[in-house]
Amino acid sequence: MKNIFVIDANVILRYLLQDYPAHFQKAYEVLEQVKTGQVSAYIPEGVLVECVYVLLKVYKVPKNEIVTSLLGILQYPGIINENRPILLESLKLFREHNVDIVDAIVYATAERKGWTVFSFDKDLTKLT
């Protein structure tokens, strides 16, 4: 079986922020291979959420910039994730509506699968 990297948030953060040169270089080497499809990588949903929160709350990166960067990475040919369409849609909802990324994922999951959202979170009504 082909070796698949499971990418952690700190790798994506170092790649995007380029704030630790040694870590950036290693992240760059792998993610550039993922970008060309030479190697495969899986980005768990929780990692995407962590990246959004850290970039938004800790580094104060504008929401649109976060979404553009993460959408780009998720579309790399080497990314293998059965929930990629849901994650892509979630990022777009997060950008276009005043909801957090988890609410966007809940809504996009329900929509994609034809399910019903059950929540007490009023923010989810912004999406319906």
Residue that the structure tokens 């959420």 belong to: 49
Query: In this model, does residue 109 exceed pLDDT 60?
Result: yes
Query: In this model, does residue 1 exceed pLDDT 80?
Result: no
55 sits in which H/E element:
none
As for how many domains the chain has, the answer is 1
Cα gap 128→117, rounded to integer Å: 10
Q: How far is CA 123 from CA 46, 64, 111, 119, 120, in A?
A: 20, 19, 16, 10, 9
Q: Report the predicted TM-score, pTM, of the whole model to 2 decimal places.
A: 0.94
pLDDT of residue 66: 98
Instruction: For residue range 43-95, list pLDDT tens digits in order.
Output: 999 999 999 999 999 999 999 999 999 999 999 999 999 999 999 999 999 99
| Domain hosting residue 49, numbered range | 4-126
